[in-house]
Amino acid sequence: MCVRRSSKGGWGKAALPPAKQPLLPGGEGGGEGLQTLGEASPPHPALRATLSPWERADSVSVDAQVSGTTPARSGLSPCQTQMRIEFGGEPVVLDACGALYLERRGILAVADLHLEKGSFFAARGNPVPRYDTRDTLERLEAAIVCYRPETVICLGDSFHDCAAGERISPPDALRLEELMGQASRWIWLTGNHDPEIPRRFRGEAALLHQAGAVHFAHFPETPVRPLIAGHYHPKLSLRLADRHVSGRCFLFSQELLLMPAFGAYAGGLDTRDTALTPLFPAGARQHVLSYRGKLWAIDRG
Ligand SMILES: [Fe+2]
């Protein structure tokens, strides 16, 4: 049985450091639907006001810092903004597109694709555009072209419901199969939306995967650490001066890293939601916001 999760919104205040790269192509932004956060423009003065230590020292904004990341296909330029962190003893690159790359393992991870969410709602009379799968696969392709991973791990809720594999259009199904052919290994971690992966798509299905010391699973409550997980679709919203800032967010401590949802229609849960409180020790959370195709380290005090 597939179970859906509700989400809540909220607001907060923080200081934002600017990053340095241009916009990613499409698909950026939090909230429901194919929302974008506007066109490139000079940062608001409030956004320039405070630089975090990451911005000064660790913010990675060039392709060269990730080996083998030369975009190989014209028209795709996913290597816009990346941030390097260490998690579980592994160098990890966070990407503004919402993906994560474990450099030493050649693992590209994405969470909560929710493929065919649009057709799921359309079938129930909700007149939403049905191009979310195409959009999500285009961005996933861009990330794969960028990182050339040995392994792709989809962290669960890859398919919005158990019948998604029957609704996906032939072109989108073919595109997904082609993407899967670009990695030596493709792992579907099962989630609450997709306890069973459509049989038409190859790859390995599992509840948990381990690479070195780092574990991957859909549910953050999985009792292993260090763990990279999805499920909650963290989203950060705040207001600075006259500007509303909102976007998907990497949320992590030393032991747990929650990935933002990658799916176009996935929506988000505010990082201050009480559902997230038990997952992190007090004061131990780091926020990295994806906003306007760039990553921003947020100090929420
Ligand atoms: Fe999800």
**Sequential DSSP letters for 140-206:** HHHHHHHH--SEEEE-S--BSSTTHHHHS-HHHHHHHHHHHTTSSEEEEE--SS-SS--TTS-SEEE
Cis upstream peptide for 226 (omega within 30°): yes
Output the CA 114–ligand 1 centroid distance in Å. Answer: 7
**Sequential DSSP letters for 49-61:** S---HIIIIIEE-
- Tell me if residue 238 falls in helix, strand or coil: strand
- What pLDDT, on a 0 to 100 scale, did the predictor assign at position 190? 98
Q: Which tokens sit at 280?
A: 């992190």
Q: Name 45's Cβ contacts closer than 8 Å, sequence gap at least 6.
A: 241
Output the CA 231–ligand 1 centroid distance in Å. Answer: 5
For the entire predicted model, the pTM comes to 0.76
Where helices occur in the chain by DSSP H, the ranges are 45-48, 53, 117-122, 132-147, 164-167, 170-180
More confident residue, 301 or 281: 281
Q: Is residue 29 left, alpha or beta, with left meaning phi > 0 and alpha meaning psi from -120 to 50?
A: left
Output the CA 46–ligand 1 centroid distance in Å. Answer: 33
Output the CA 26–ligand 1 centroid distance in Å. Answer: 20
Report d(CA 13, CA 224) in Å as an integer: 32
Q: Which tokens sit at 209?
A: 């995967």
Output the CA 241–ligand 1 centroid distance in Å. Answer: 32
Q: Name 105's Cβ contacts closer than 8 Å, sequence gap at least 6.
A: 90, 150, 151, 211, 212, 214
Output the CA 260–ligand 1 centroid distance in Å. Answer: 9
Q: Which tokens sit at 27?
A: 């698909």
Q: Name 190's Cβ contacts closer than 8 Å, sequence gap at least 6.
A: 156, 196, 197, 205, 206, 207, 218
Of residues 137, 138, 149, the one with CA closest to residue 69: 149
Residue 301 confidence class, pLDDT cut points 50, 70, 90: low
Output the CA 230–ligand 1 centroid distance in Å. Answer: 7
Q: What pairs with residue 93 in β-bridges?
A: 84, 101
More confident residue, 7 or 12: 7
More confident residue, 46 or 211: 211
Output the CA 160–ligand 1 centroid distance in Å. Answer: 8
Report d(CA 186, CA 195) in Å as an integer: 17
In this predicted structure, the answer to whether residue 22 has a pLDDT above a threshold of 60 is no
Output the CA 53–ligand 1 centroid distance in Å. Answer: 31
- What pLDDT, on a 0 to 100 scale, did the predictor assign at position 73? 34
Phi first, then psi, for residue 89 (nearest 5°) are: 80, 5
- What pLDDT, on a 0 to 100 scale, did the predictor assign at position 104? 97
Q: Name 251's Cβ contacts closer than 8 Å, sequence gap at least 6.
A: 234, 257, 258, 271, 276, 280, 285, 286, 287, 288
Output the CA 266–ligand 1 centroid distance in Å. Answer: 7
Residue 80 confidence class, pLDDT cut points 50, 70, 90: low
* High-pLDDT (> 90) share of the chain, %: 62
Output the CA 156–ligand 1 centroid distance in Å. Answer: 7
Output the CA 177–ligand 1 centroid distance in Å. Answer: 21
- What pLDDT, on a 0 to 100 scale, did the predictor assign at position 281? 85
The arithmetic mean of pLDDT across residues 261-289, rounded, is 92
Report d(CA 78, CA 110) in Å as an integer: 14
Output the CA 48–ligand 1 centroid distance in Å. Answer: 33
